[in-house]
Amino acid sequence: MERRHFLRYLGIGAASAGISACGQESSTAAASCEETTQETFEWKMVTTWPKNFPVLGTGAEYFAQIINEMSNGRLTVKVYGAGEIVPAFESFDAVSDGTVEMAHGSAYYWKGKNPAFQFFSTVPFGMSANEMNAWLYFGGGLELWQRAYEPFGLEPMPAGNTGVQMGGWFNKEINSLDDLRGLKMRIPGLGGEVLRKAGGTPVNVPGGDLFMSLKTGVIDATEWVGPYNDLAFGLNDAAKYYYSPGWHEPGTAMECIINKAAMAKLPADLQSIVRNAARVTNSYIMLEYAAENKNALEELVKKQGVEIRSFPNDVVEKLRELSAQVVSELAEQDEFSQEIYDSYSKFANKSKAWYKLSEQAYLNIR
């Protein structure tokens, strides 16, 4: 979908962001408008992705583009890929300390700050993209997220979702739980802690280093996102087996994090533009994955000869059991973690009952 049309589709544009106030006839409003339009702001956005990497990197560029368009140039955002200003995993600190105004990444990268952040990214065997967004926007999730980031002077907001990911690339078959023991795998977040309980070794490697790490044996396996992004990195040339499903990341939320002091300096209409641009980007990235993954999967299987495998049922059941332990242990760390877990799990359980009767039932008969 062409980007301008996409903005119209979502009903978000300059007028809806409050810029139409300049059309008022009173002299006071006109003077105020003239003063506001002369005030401009220049922001930097760092990302955890390689520059212009498909969907993730280009999604950050799209985010910046629509802020520029909706603000009519009053707020311009320049995007920097991982390593251009700070390394990928230093993005959080760069926004928190005011080095840059905003960043694009995912909350599980910052689990060292607070392990509970991982709830705002993805939970193994947890909610899908639609369910996750519903919890964030309508189930109190976003308010909890804002409280979690408040001590760091940051405002978080959803800014994309990968949907259900693939299970990863492996250089050996996974036929039993024994095949996970001793396995060095790039797998972040709570999924990595589950692998650790299963006897493996989780390794957090930036996206740009995945191919060489897998090719040279630094890691034995890796998950990344799905066919479109995996093909872009050429992971099919570094490993033989491609496993499904992505039990560890059923609907991974991307985030935009903004320095609250920088946000407070913006006029109200520009603040609204930033927040609404994040909502547009959130939908846009999900839809682009839906459009492109199917094409990349066909390329991988039919032209590249990739072998698609499914994890054995007994392995999946054990991973589900270990996931429940990992999430429960996280919730027990402190009262706030428990509060987030209770909110997430209550929403997920109710949503599961509805989806069983709706989408799951439909997919089963389709």
Specify the CATH number for the domain of residue 24. 3.40.190.170
The answer to whether residue 63 is domain-embedded is yes
Mean pLDDT of 252-264: 98
The answer to whether residue 316 is domain-embedded is no
The answer to whether residue 43 is domain-embedded is yes
The answer to whether residue 88 is domain-embedded is yes
Tokens encoding 125 = 């065997």
d(CA 211, CA 112): 25
Domain count, the chain: 1
Half-sphere exposure of 48 (CA within 13 A, CB side): 21
pLDDT in tens, 155-197: 999 999 999 999 999 999 999 999 999 999 999 999 999 999 9
pLDDT in tens, 15-61: 444 444 444 444 444 444 444 457 999 999 999 999 999 999 999 99
The answer to whether residue 14 is domain-embedded is yes
The answer to whether residue 326 is domain-embedded is no
Q: Tell me which residue range forms the domain holding 77.
A: 3-163+251-291
Question: Could you tell me the CA-to-CA distances from 112 to 76, 102, 107, 326 in Å, in that order?
Answer: 31, 19, 10, 16
Q: What is the mean pLDDT of the chain?
A: 92
